[in-house]
Structure formats: C-alpha cells, structure tokens
Amino acid sequence: MANLAASIRSGDRRALARAITLIESTRPDHRADAEALLEALLPYTGNSVRLGISGVPGVGKSTFIEAFGLHLIDRGHRMAILAVDPSSKRSGGSILGDKTRMAELSRRSEAYIRPSPAGTTLGGVARRTREAMHVCEAAGFDVIVVETVGVGQSETAVADMVDMFVLLLLPGGGDELQGIKRGIVELADLVVVNKADGDLAAQASRTASDYAHAVRLLRPASAEWQVEVLRCSALEGKGIPEIWDAVGRYRDKLGAVGEIAKRRGEQARAWMWGEIGETLLAALKRHPGVRSQIADLERDVIAGRIPPAKAARRMIETFLSGPN
Ligand code: GDP
C-alpha cells in the first residue's frame, strides 16, 4: 500500500484508478488494504475545493461540468469528477458511465472522471465517494466535483461531503415544475440557472430573479454567506468564469472565519458515525442467529402481529448475545 500511495502521489493515473477500485470493493481483505492506503494518504488530503453539483436530468450538468472543467484547466487547475448515483449498477445506467458525456474533458490529463460506484445503499455509495475524493486530492487534483442527480436523498449525502453545494436549474417554473424535490433548494450555497441563451435567455432572467427572491427568504446556512443566484449558458460557455469567481468569494468569506475547516470537521465526525452504523448493520445482517430470524420477523411485522420496535429489539438481542 505504501508503494501504491507513492504512485498515486506521483500522478500515476493507473494507480489512481486501481486505488479507487480497491476502495469500492466489498471484500474484507480489500477493505483492510483500502483503509491502510487511506491512512497513508491522509496527510496529503484536504487541499482541494470540494464542490457538489446537482440538478435534474437534462438541466445540463455534464455540459456545465465540461465547460467549467475546461475553464479551470485553462487557469492551471486540475479537476476530478466523481458521482453519487445510487440507482447506478455496474451494468450501466450510471450518470457518468456514458462515455459520450464530457468528451473533451475526459481526454484531458488535468481531469479525472470516475462514475458512481455500484452499491445497494446510498450510504454505501456515499462513503466510497468520500474516500475516492481523498485519493484524488492526494493525487494532486485541487478541484473535486461530486455530481448527483437532483431527484432525492443523494443531494443531502453530497452536501454532507463538500464545501459548497451548487444547484443547477432550468429556465422557467418553480421547484415543482422543474421536478426538484423538497428541501433541495435549501441545501444550495449557489444557484445557477443554466441555458441562459437564445430563446431561453429572457425566461432564465425571470427564473433567476424569482429564485434570488426565494433564497433571501430562507434561513442562511452561514452568517457569512448569502446564497447567490447566477445565470450561465454551459453550451456557449457564458457565465462560467463568474461561477468560479463566486466559488472564490464563498471560500474567502467562509475560509476567513474558519467555517470551511469547521464544516469539514463536522462532516468527518458524521462520517465516522455513519461508518459505524453501516458496519454494524452489515454485521447484524450477517449474524447466523439473526439471519434465521429475519424472514419470520419481517412477515410478522408486515402482518401486524408484532410491533416493529419489538421485532427490532429481538434481532438486536440475538446479535448482542454472542457469535451464534
Ligand atoms: P444532464 O442530464 O444534466 O447531464 O444534462 P446534459 O448536459 O446532458 O444536457 C442536456 C441537454 O441540454 C443536452 O441536449 C445539452 O446540449 C443541452 N444543454 C446543456 N446546457 C445547455 C445550455 O447552456 N444551453 C442550451 N440551450 N442547451 C443546453
């Protein structure tokens, strides 16, 4: 693992890919290696701007990330793009699996694009993405973008692993018309109305001023930052530099009062507890005594014969009573 860590730090892309594959593996021996690797890399992590980017399918996320990434590369940055898409399976359907997305960016050595890991639970996908983020930082990527689809719980998971959460919107309509789930606008540190071009330009202006009004009514997540609403055209590359400037303002303001470091500390703590929850649950489900109870107890709970809390307690008692 020390060798692999050294190769990653020297910028070896195959080593980086191998490390992320190792992290995503569920085999216990792989997990032990992955933890050793992450520990070796830990001193070299944290030196990036961590951005979450979300929006409903079709809003232009991949077009935006491509334009944004190329702009940042021009300015000397290196960008890694990860995804959190719990619906994706190894066989396909992942939001970054499609090779035609971000075609130009994917050819650049200053960019690294990694699709969402396969996983049955959002928690499982999110924890591996966090670890992949650290590996990318150790590999020298100074901007990490975590992309997710704007359709549910994955937004919260992503907001909990980044410094700044950016929500992309379409011109026209409020949250419901745009298919945005409740609470997602509240997570945003920056709102961007995309497709502000051609026939859609006027509509994009109206949408931006509607949202600028709406976000002023929300309780700000930080006293240092009032959520900004910007417009861009990812297709024409307009408004992209202004978005990077807004990221800079955000980091300056929050960084000056130590809020980014504080947020990261809290995220690490929550991650630790999440890790405990996931690991314990997996161990409980593997326990032979518990396994032999699950089907019956689930049936009884579904039929209303046993209160759910009592069924849960019974399984936990079996688990805590010892190895069998
Ligand atoms: P995603 O599903 O959110 O990743 O969206 P895509 O990036 O795949 O874009 C969906 C569609 O919107 C594609 O046909 C894009 O060409 C188009 N699109 C993306 N950005 C813009 C933009 O700024 N202006 C216009 N007019 N179309 C755009």
Domains, the chain, ordered by start: 1-44 (1.20.5.170), 45-257 (3.40.50.300), 269-321 (1.10.287.130)
Rama region for 140: left / alpha / beta (φ>0; ψ in -120 to 50; rest): left
**How large a percentage of the chain has pLDDT more than 90?**
70
| Ligand 1 pocket list (CB less than 6 A) | 55, 57-63, 194-195, 197, 233-235
Bridge pairing between strands 79-84 and 228-231: unpaired
Predicted pLDDT of residue 181: 75
Q: Write out pLDDT tens, residues 94-137.
A: 555 555 678 899 899 999 998 877 776 777 788 889 999 999 99
CA of 62 to the centre of ligand 1 (A): 7
pTM: 0.89
Q: In angstroms, rounded to a whole number, what is the distance separating the alpha carbons of residues 260 and 283?
A: 34
Q: In this structure, which residue's CA is closest to atom 5 in ligand 1?
A: 60
Q: For the chain, give the mean pLDDT.
A: 90
CA 72 – ligand 1 centroid, Å: 20
- Report which of 252, 14, 100, 282 is spatially closest to residue 3, judged by C-alpha positions: 14
CA pair distance 170, 150, nearest whole angstrom:
12
Contacts of 324 (CB under 8 A, 6+ apart): 288, 289
8 A C-beta contact, residue 184 and residue 227? no
Q: Tell me how far the alpha carbon of residue 29 lies from the centroid of ligand 1, in angstroms.
A: 42
Contact assessment for residue 67 and residue 53, using Cβ atoms and an 8 Å cutoff: no
- Structural tokens at position 238: 């307009």
Task: Tell which one of 235, 236, 240, 243 to mutate to probe ligand 1, the residue whose CB is within 8 A of the most ligand atoms.
Answer: 235
Closest ligand 1 atom, CA of 101? 8
Tell me the percentage of the chain whose pLDDT exceeds 70: 94
Q: Which of 64, 80, 79, 84 is nearest to 233 (CA)?
A: 64
DSSP annotation of 171 reads S
- pLDDT of 195 higher than 60: yes
Nearest C-alpha neighbor of 82 from the set 48, 37, 36: 48
Do residues 178 and 169 lie in contact, with contact meaning Cβ atoms separated by under 8 Å? yes
Q: Looking at residue 275, what is its pLDDT?
A: 86
The confidence score (pLDDT) of residue 75 equals 97
**Is residue 148 over pLDDT 70?**
yes
**Nearest atom, ligand 1, residue 57 CA:** 2
Ligand 1, residues 54, 62, 63, 105: which to mutate, most atoms within 8 A of Cβ?
63
Q: Which amino acid is at 40?
A: A
Q: Whole-angstrom Cα distance, residue 94 to residue 272?
A: 27
In the predicted structure, residue 88 carries a pLDDT above the cut 60: no
pLDDT tier at 151, thresholds 50, 70, 90:
low
Confidence of residue 93 (pLDDT cuts 50, 70, 90): very low
Atom of ligand 1 nearest to the CA of 198: 26
Question: Mean per-residue pLDDT for 35-55?
Answer: 95
C-alpha dihedral, 92 to 96 to 97 to 98, nearest 10°: 110
**Under 8 Å between Cβ of 21 and 131:** no
Q: How far apart are CA 103 and CA 1, in angstroms?
A: 32
What residues pair up with 53 in beta bridges, in sequence order? 147, 166
Report pLDDT for 60.
93
Q: What is the pLDDT of residue 85?
A: 78
Cβ proximity of 180 and 86 under 8 Å: no
pLDDT value for 68? 97
Nearest CA to ligand 1 atom 12: 60
CB 122 within 8 A of CB 156: no
> Average pLDDT, stretch 178-198?
88
- Nearest ligand 1 atom, CA 95: 4
CA 260 to chain centre: 17
The whole-number average pLDDT for the span 67-95 is 80
58 CA to centre of ligand 1 in angstroms = 6
Give which of 110, 109, 116, 117 is closest to 143, Cα–Cα.
Answer: 110
Minimal-distance CA residue to ligand 1 atom 25: 195
Given a cut of 50, whether residue 90 has pLDDT beyond it is no
Q: Take atom 7 of ligand 1 and give the residue whose Cα is closest.
A: 60
Angle at 61 between CA 217 and CA 13, to 5 degrees: 125
Specify the residue with its C-alpha closest to ligand 1, atom 18. 60
Least trusted range by pLDDT, from 33-47, 83-97, 201-215, 299-313? 83-97
Q: Average pLDDT of 269-298?
A: 92
Dist CA 60 CA 204 (whole Å): 14
Q: Residue range 197-216: average pLDDT?
A: 93
Ligand 1, atom 19, residue with closest C-alpha: 60
What is the pLDDT at residue 260? 95
Give the residue whose CA is nearest to atom 27 of ligand 1: 195
pLDDT at 183: 82
Q: How far is the CA of 322 from the centre of ligand 1 (A)?
A: 55
Give residue 200's identity as a one-letter amino acid code.
L
pLDDT in tens, 211-268: 999 888 888 888 889 999 999 999 999 999 999 999 999 999 999 999 999 999 999 9
Span from the CA of 203 to the centroid of ligand 1 (angstroms): 16
Q: For residue 130, how far is its CA from the centre of ligand 1 (angstroms)? A: 27
pLDDT at 201 over 50: yes
- Backbone phi and psi for residue 245, each to the nearest 5 degrees, phi listed first: -60, -40
